[in-house]
Amino acid sequence: RLCKMHAPESVNYHLTRRCQYHCRFCFHTGKSPFVLPLADALRGVAELIDCGTQKINFAGGEPFLPEGGHFLGELLRGTKQEAARRGVRVTTSVVSNGGLVTERWLRDYGNCLDILAVSIDSFRAETLAAIGRSAEKGLIGAQRHIEHTQEIRRWCEQYGVKFKVNTVVCSLNWEEDMTAGIVQLRPFRWKIFQCLQLLGENAGKGALRDASELLVTAEQFRSFTTRNCTATVCAGGVTTCPEDNSTMRDSYLLLDEHMRFLNCVNGTKHATASILDVGVATALGEAGWDVAAFIQRGGKYEW
C-alpha cells in the first residue's frame, strides 16, 4: 500500500456537480459542468484501491446525469474490475436523488453496485416541493419523487442491491414523523443529516444556494432523531445513523469532479491537488480528514 498514514478506507467521489433537482440546502452545487474522462476516473479509482480504499461512494450533483447513467455504470464496472485485478474486494455505493434511476439500469449494472442510497427528506409532497427535492416544481413532481423512491426500493430487492435512505433535517421537516414511510421502505441504513452550511456553496459570496432559512438548531435536530429513531424502525432491520454538523464536517473524505480532496475544516471547501497529479498520499495529507471522527460516527461498518 502506498499510504503511510491511515488508509482512506471510504471515499466519496463527487463525479459531477450537475443536478436536475432544486434542493435549496444543497452544499455541492452546480458550479461546473466538468466530468473526468472515464479512463482518468478509473485511473484515480485504481490509485485509491492501491492506497487501501475499501469502499467508494459515487455521488454528485446527480451521478446518473452524465451520459444518461452510462458513465456511472461503466465506472462501477471498471471499479470492480480494478479490484478483481488486485485480488481485493471494493464496495461500490451510489448516492442519488433517484429521479433518473431505471429498472433497465439496475438490470444492466446492478451486479456492479453494492449499495444504492436515495435521498428523501419527507413523505409529504408539499414539504418536498418547498425544499425543492424534485425535478419539476410543484406537488406533482414531489409526489412522483415519493412514488419513484418506493419503486426503486422494489428494484433494489429484485437485483440484489442494498437500499439506503439519506435524509436532510431542515426547518421544513424537523417536526415530521417519517417512521411509517421508513418502515415501508425498509432501508438497511438511514442516514439523517443536520442541514449544513458551507461558504461558497449554500452560504456567503459566490454561493448558488442560500440555506440560511433552512437551518435547524441542535435541539431541533435531536427532536427529529428522537421522534424517528424508534424501536419500531430498528425492529424492521433499519440502522439509524444521525449526524449533526460537527460530526459531518471533517469525518468524510470528499473528492470533487477533478479528483481533488475537499478540505472543509474551516466551514468552506479548499481543494487539494488532484490525486491524478500528485498521488493519493500527498493529496490526503492536505484533506483535513479527521480519522477519529470517521470511526466514531460509524463510518466503517459491514459493507
* Grid-cell match 441504513, residue found: 189
Q: What is the DSSP letter of 69?
A: G
Identify whether 26 is a catalytic site residue. yes
Dump strand ranges (E) for the chain: 10-14, 55-59, 91-96, 115-119, 162-169, 189-194, 239-243, 254-255, 260-263, 270-274
C-alpha to C-alpha distance for 251 and 237, rounded to whole angstroms: 25
Residue from 127, 120, 67 nearest 96 by CA: 120
C-alpha to C-alpha distance for 43 and 65, rounded to whole angstroms: 21
C-alpha to C-alpha distance for 159 and 161, rounded to whole angstroms: 6
C-alpha to C-alpha distance for 120 and 182, rounded to whole angstroms: 10
Identify whether 241 is a catalytic site residue. no
Strand order in the sheet with 239-243: 239-243, 189-194, 162-169, 115-119, 91-96, 55-59, 10-14, 254-255, 260-263, 270-274
- Angle 70-85/38-50 helices, nearest 10 degrees? 40
C-alpha to C-alpha distance for 99 and 135, rounded to whole angstroms: 8
Is the bond into 298 cis (omega within 30 degrees of 0)?
A: no
3-state secondary structure of 220: helix
Identify whether 23 is a catalytic site residue. yes
Catalytic sites, residue numbers:
19, 23, 26
